[in-house]
Every structure is written in structure tokens, then in C-alpha cells.
Structure 1
Amino acid sequence: MKRYGNLWNEIIVFGNLLSAGQQAQRGKRFRENVLEFNYNLEQELFQLQEELQSKIYCSGNYTKFQKQIHSQYPLLRRNSFQM
């Protein structure tokens, strides 16, 4: 397996942070926290970039949740055929 080194400076380029933010927003565009982030997008990304460069960035707490599936149709399983 090939190893790539010294990528940190390429990762924290403004364009890459913008692209990562857009990918993370897919399907969540109208959520309140996403709208708030986008309102000050440039400022938020520059702040994130500065925190990453100075290595003081700290991610938020994780939230534990369970996904519930509500379906009007019963879940069906395909029978396996044996010869």
C-alpha cells in the first residue's frame, strides 16, 4: 500500500474545507444549524482553518441515537433456493 505524507497543508486549504462542508451538508440544507453555519460561511471556514493550523480545534460531543424505521409495508426477506 502506498503511503502519502505531509498532506496536512493540502487538507486545510480553504477550497478543501469548503468542499468538505458542502459534502457534509447534503440532505441537511434547511436544518437550523446548517443555515446558521452558511449565514457566516466564509468566517466560519476561516476560523476552522485557523484552529486546524494552530492545532487547537476540538470536535463537539457525540450524540447517541437509534434509527427507527417506520414503513407501511412489512419487511420481506428473499427465500434462498436450494437444489
Structure 2
Amino acid sequence: MTSQSLFCALFGYKAQIEDELLEAMLRAEKTISADRFHPALETLYHLHLVDRIFSLNLQKMAQTHRRTWVNDPPPLARSLQR
């Protein structure tokens, strides 16, 4: 197995798991309190930023990420849009 095929397999699996997690969080958003939901969403957002930085580093591109919210996370529905 080459490094490229390994990365493709791992990131494919990661994307599938993250889709399932986001769908579960979308369902849970209506039933859990904001003080418990927002930290989970912040963690997912952080993971998304780390993935973007990693991707940019692999492509040898400049990192232009910025935190887009401080106290209020973006609606989860926007996170599910591709």
C-alpha cells in the first residue's frame, strides 16, 4: 500500500464517520442544552480547521484560516452543507 492510497483510505473513512457524527449532532441539537452542545460543536469546528491546515500543508499552500466565531458557533445545518 502506498502512502497516497493509505491517506485516501483513511480520509475516506474519516469523512464517513464525520458525516455520521454531524447527522447525530443535528438530531441531538434539539434535545441537549446549549451549554453541553456548543463545546461539542466547537471541538468539531476545531477538528475541521486542523484538517484544513493539514490539507494546505500537503499542498504547500498558505494558511489563511481564521476563527469565525467566538461565543456563538455557526448553526449546525450550515456545517452539513458541502
Give the TM-score normalised by structure 1: 0.31
Query: Relative contact order: is structure 1 or structure 2 higher (C-alpha 8 Å, sep ≥ 6)?
Result: 2
Structure number with the higher helix fraction is 2
Give the TM-score normalised by structure 2: 0.31
Larger-gyration structure (1/2): 1
